Amino acid sequence: MTAAPNSAPFPPARIRAQADRRRTFAVISHPDAGKSTLTEALALHARVIGQAGAVHGKGNRRATVSDWMQMEKDRGISISSAALQFEYRDTVINLVDTPGHADFSEDTYRVLSAVDAAVMLIDAAKGLEAQTMKLFEVCRHRDIPIITFINKWDRPGQEALALLDEITERTGLRPAPLTWPVGIAGEFHGVLERASGDFIRFTRTDAGAGIAQEERLDADAAAAMIGGDWDTALEEAELLELEGQEHDQDAFLAARSTPVMFGSAVLNFGVHQLLDALVDIAPAAGPRPDQDGNPRPVEEPFSGFVFKVQAGMDANHRDRLAYIRVCSGVFERGMVVTHATTGKPFATKYAQQVFGRDREVVDTAFPGDIVGLVNASALRVGDSLYVDRKVVFPRIPTFSPEHFKVIRAKDSSKYKQFRRGIEQLDHEGVIQVLRSDLRGDQAPVLAAVGPMQFEVAEDRMVNEFNAPCTLEQLNFSLARRTTPEWVSVLSRERGVEVLSRSDGALLALFPDRWRLAGVEREHEGIVLEPLVVSA
């Protein structure tokens, strides 16, 4: 199929209709709560894949198809994010999987800038964990509506009512269950669908590799089959009704209430109901505010922004993808857009949808869609692209680093590969790169939110860029933004170092908060500003 770059414009009504069909969301949670497993369970129910990648049993354990880096497969966690598009009930689902480890919170934050809703995954046994709360705060800051999926109900866990209380107390959201478990955690019969009053009974399949069998029964049939657990579920549902814990669409879209569902992603229980909820109540792609807060209507000419840059996904091609969220208009492969940062034209000859290592060419995309632009070396995270009327979307803040290491090439003859690798990792935002005249380009400082970022950086330097390196820990634990007039003052302070980040920011590094406080006391009026986002 050939593209029709800059072809006749799509009618505004068609663009709005296509935007209304889109549901773009991310799956967020604490590590090991089952994000990648849920991603694949959703794809399985939409008939995108034939068998889930996460299968119980040591002998036939499979890696989830969204995990493509060797480190992800070795450790059973997601490090990079992946995007998957599929159709379900005449709705286009754009599902963005996010990193499964707290050390990669920054990547998750970028993903959340590109979605319209989030599915918050909670482990039935562990409840709301630290990383879940951090990501919830990001969602609250961005007013992102959240659907809560309480996972692993097939295993022993907390009581359902206690989990609702925890959601209320710790998030401030009013939980409004759409389904209610029949049977305690670990003894899962199915769910009560509150809107209809029906019982949806689940039957185990081959260790969750296929779609779970469902049987819909009315209340009388459920009572005859299940007995006491059904009666308990009805009593608890009545209590929810008395407490006013009913779904309110306006409150949900305003991020004041969260619909709640129960299930087991690894066994594909409750996943079909979650898909239906995404179609029925999750927000469609709508106008996106620019950096001045002015919404750009979806029917305006094309615009979008880069929320992720990723390289090294295919060793055979050595390409570099910039993921963009389409905000308005129609993206057509081959069209020429304007790069807002430079004002220069940018040709979109190669465009793909990417999920793990699987790729498909994209010819056309509408507001809400995620497109991967191949070999987009000029693009960086946060860049805006547009056609006709200029638009600049808000920049994506970087996290405040807490870990710092000097990186050096082991082999001086491979300095060119070393430098290229450092520049590439910096461009992608895999890690922050800090430099100074004193250290020079041969020994830049890597700054990370979490220690595992160093492992990813080192692994890619060795295996992707053929540049073996050494990393040396520095005795710093926090960074503050400063201004040029204070650099000489700070450089004379014991245990303090000032370095420049690639975005031009000057960062003063301190060993601890006590040293920071001492410098602030000693120099009245000194500029030492916290970075915008904290991990």
The angle formed by the CA atoms of residues 348, 350 and 356, to the nearest 5 degrees, is 125
- Asked if residue 97 belongs to a known ligand binding site, the reply is yes
- Asked if residue 98 belongs to a known ligand binding site, the reply is yes
Tokens of 227: 């007995």
Considering only CA atoms, which of 176, 190, 172, 170 is closest in space to residue 147?
Answer: 176
Return the sign of the alpha-carbon dihedral for residues 455, 458, 461, 464.
Answer: negative
Length of the chain counted residue by residue: 535
Q: Report the relative pairing of strands 384-386 and 303-311 from DSSP bridges.
A: antiparallel
223 CB burial (10 A radius; 0-12, 13-18, 19+): middle
- Asked if residue 100 belongs to a known ligand binding site, the reply is yes
Q: Report the relative pairing of strands 469-473 and 403-409 from DSSP bridges.
A: antiparallel
Residues facing residue 507 across a β-bridge: 481, 499
- Asked if residue 156 belongs to a known ligand binding site, the reply is no
Tokens of 176: 């409004």
- Asked if residue 76 belongs to a known ligand binding site, the reply is no
Residues whose CB falls within 8 Å of the CB of residue 412, separated by 6 or more in sequence, listed in order: none
Q: Is 175:167 a contact under the CB 8 Å cutoff?
A: yes
CA–CA separation, 226 and 518 (whole Å):
67
280 CB burial (10 A radius; 0-12, 13-18, 19+): middle
Q: Is 372:322 a contact under the CB 8 Å cutoff?
A: yes
* Secondary structure element (H or E) that encloses residue 19, with its range: helix 12-21
Q: Report the relative pairing of strands 22-29 and 117-123 from DSSP bridges.
A: parallel
Q: Which residues of 401-425 are buried (b: 16+ CB within 10 A; e: fewer)?
A: bbbbbebebeeeebeebbbebbbbb
Q: Is 500:467 a contact under the CB 8 Å cutoff?
A: no
Considering only CA atoms, which of 193, 186, 174, 48 is closest in space to residue 124?
Answer: 186
CA–CA separation, 356 and 217 (whole Å):
38
Return the sign of the alpha-carbon dihedral for residues 437, 438, 440, 444.
Answer: negative
Side-chain half-sphere exposure of 134, counting CA atoms within 13 A: 18
CA–CA separation, 348 and 331 (whole Å):
9
CA–CA separation, 266 and 41 (whole Å):
7
In degrees and rounded to multiples of 5, residue 240 shows phi and psi of -60, -40
Residues whose CB falls within 8 Å of the CB of residue 360, separated by 6 or more in sequence, listed in order: 352, 353
Residue numbers belonging to the annotated binding site: 97-101
Residue numbers belonging to the annotated binding site for GTP: 97-101
